Structure 1
């Protein structure tokens, strides 16, 4: 499939994803059928280079399609976007032999990737690790508890953070790829949540052995992979998903207000209704503009072969994540207030605002905003130019 056809293909899927979204949420069921649609149509390989059979897409394609998918089903959008985040890490940092092993399978839709970065006791510190890799008979042994793994029970492969060796410091972390059949996997805590119920992000206990060549990037230097791939692509993709959901909610409310069957309280000639719509639109315009600007900044660095690790760019990426989390949730909160009890708060309302509200409440918790704001304060002191995006 040509990359140019990807958006049209995704748009054709959206009615199906939208129809399934309520049941995915109600049953807290992983959207397996939706993932299979993405598999069958080559969309798991969006970021896989054409040389490996993929679509050869970039970050603009990722953020565009993530918005479209998440507008129909946020759980599906996030599952796909986080898979693409892992693909980018492999494309940019894996050794040639590992790329040859993994990327063609991703492009064929055979391999859905999950991320294993959470660990008991480390409190969300992405760049530290507790469980160590152990060398034995030419292999690397891993034994790992992870309290949250999005789509882990369904994944075909995993990227796992591990302390690089038993004697290594907790900041000497390696990223390791493992096929599902290289691991013993035991489900742990379930996923009983307010929103994002379809991501099935329950805990796993993983153990197994992999070849030394399955380390992604330099051993002990996961920080570089995280800085250049996992964190920037994650922030861009998450922001796009949250924006897509909130944008879908706004479009639904606008259609309702324009319809003959609108509730009496949604009078389009009312100054109050117009002012509230304007504020929702403003929230989403700001997120959309900042998303496009920061995505372009990352693309510019990649095109020039320079790092995104400078203080200014890091502040911009962290700000994008926090701003998107806050403003998209605020937008849906305002729509709930505008539409009222009957049209917004009911679980069987024509527009699923209550589901969007619950799902987007997770955004500020998905790598905590407080942690990123603290980091931005420290980075601002280092950024002598205070360069704005």
Structure 2
């Protein structure tokens, strides 16, 4: 761990960012718009470069700091935090797997807040299946990109894209190549809208991308995206997403506890002295404590393995990462559901409530769908045959 990783980001700085995110969260949700104010603040304060090494001008932080900040930012606005977390996920891929030429040219721009990265992995007919691709990369004068994706989180606002493509017209579906394309290298056309129950501020529209990039823009080895995904994209994604969901639920519980205890024994709301209310709060707290503890342990495990140059694509570690995503997505949503029930119709379910429980409930409902839990349950069952020692975290 570097000295930079050991030094926490100043609390006042984080609090200022969270205040900006909180101030615009309701409007972002109501209008289904990209959180421009929050992202401008993240750019200005250097948080797009959180994972960029100090030698390139970044903060040089690690996964523990990423998950800590993701929780804090999600407590202000979950949509903003998720967009930022996915940018950090893409940044990690550049840091760990890009060519020296691409790192030298791109990482300082990310650190300066100039480049917000979006991920292009979805395709019609395969959904979010990460390790296969249909649209093919074509070579010639550079690398030709013709890619259509039904969901690109923050894509209309991104300055650069990390794009998966089949390695060539004759390549198999699993021979996937990842490459970077700057917005200036592409023609970007919107093909679909983003009108959803929750997570409205992620602005995850459909895009068609066409253009051409240089060979040094390939990230990892051609046709072997699976290796970079196992080392970087999957672990950082599961850690960051889980932290965001936990942070949103945690902030909601903090607001609910303050609201209940401030009411005292006044009629018309939950009574803090009621054993039933106390038991319900305890159950909500239990779910969040379990997610927090598991998130912390998986973060430690992944950080430790990466620090010694080990592999993350072993069955037990993959199970732990998948379990984290499953637990975080299901338990934080269950907590939000219980908070709505406890707060009641007007305060818990109402869109005009002083507590944003209704928004939190809608946002967290997406967690099990964001890289479908159905796929992960099946994967963990299959991986369990290979980990016959049952290597628990």
SS in 1 for 2:27: helix
Q: 1:132 aligns with which of 133, 136, 159?
A: 136
Residue number in structure 2 paired with 1:342: 346
Residue number in structure 2 paired with 1:112: 116
Residue number in structure 1 paired with 2:187: 184
1:65-104 equivalences under 5 Å are: 65-104=69-108
Q: 2:156 aligns with which of 148, 153, 156?
A: 153
Residue number in structure 2 paired with 1:371: 375
Matches of 2:218 and 2:240, distance apart in 1: 24
Residue number in structure 1 paired with 2:306: 302
For residues 141 and 8 of structure 1, do their structure 2 counterparts lie closer, same or farther at Cα, with a shift above 3 Å needed? same
* 1:248 is aligned to 2:251: yes
Does the 8 Å contact 1:3/1:57 carry over to 2? no
Does the 8 Å contact 2:20/2:37 carry over to 1? no
Does the 8 Å contact 1:81/1:238 carry over to 2? yes
> Where does structure 1 differ by over 6 angstroms across 4 or more consecutive aligned residues?
none
Residue number in structure 2 paired with 1:169: 172
Q: 2:45 aligns with which of 29, 41, 51?
A: 41
Matches of 1:16 and 1:9, distance apart in 2: 11
Q: How many equivalent pairs are there?
A: 388
Q: What are structure 2's unaligned runs of at least 5 residues?
A: 1-5
CA shift for structure 1 position 263: 5.4
Q: 1:215 aligns with which of 218, 221, 224?
A: 218
* 1:359 is aligned to 2:363: yes
Q: Deviations along 1:129-187, whole A, 9 cap, x unmatched?
A: 101111112x0001000000000000000000000111111100000100000000100
For residues 343 and 305 of structure 1, do their structure 2 counterparts lie closer, same or farther at Cα, with a shift above 3 Å needed? same
CA RMSD after TM alignment: 1.3
Does the 8 Å contact 2:188/2:210 carry over to 1? yes
Does the 8 Å contact 2:263/2:269 carry over to 1? no
Residue number in structure 2 paired with 1:284: 288
Residue number in structure 2 paired with 1:50: 54
Matches of 1:341 and 1:379, distance apart in 2: 43
CA shift for structure 1 position 342: 1.4
Q: Deviations along 1:25-72, whole A, 9 cap, x unmatched?
A: 000010011101000101100000000000000000000000000001
Residue number in structure 1 paired with 2:278: 274
Q: 1:197 aligns with which of 174, 197, 200?
A: 200
SS in 2 for 1:208: strand
Residue number in structure 1 paired with 2:3: none
Residue number in structure 1 paired with 2:386: 382
Does the 8 Å contact 2:21/2:37 carry over to 1? no
TM-score (norm 1): 0.98
Matches of 1:98 and 1:306, distance apart in 2: 24
For residues 82 and 348 of structure 1, do their structure 2 counterparts lie closer, same or farther at Cα, with a shift above 3 Å needed? same
Residue number in structure 1 paired with 2:66: 62
Matches of 1:319 and 1:198, distance apart in 2: 27
Q: Deviations along 1:83-107, whole A, 9 cap, x unmatched?
A: 0000000100001000011100000
Does the 8 Å contact 1:115/1:160 carry over to 2? yes
Q: Deviations along 1:347-381, whole A, 9 cap, x unmatched?
A: 11010000000000000000000100100000000
TM-score (norm 2): 0.97
Q: 2:237 aligns with which of 217, 234, 237?
A: 234
Q: Deviations along 1:1-34, whole A, 9 cap, x unmatched?
A: x963354312122122112100000000100111
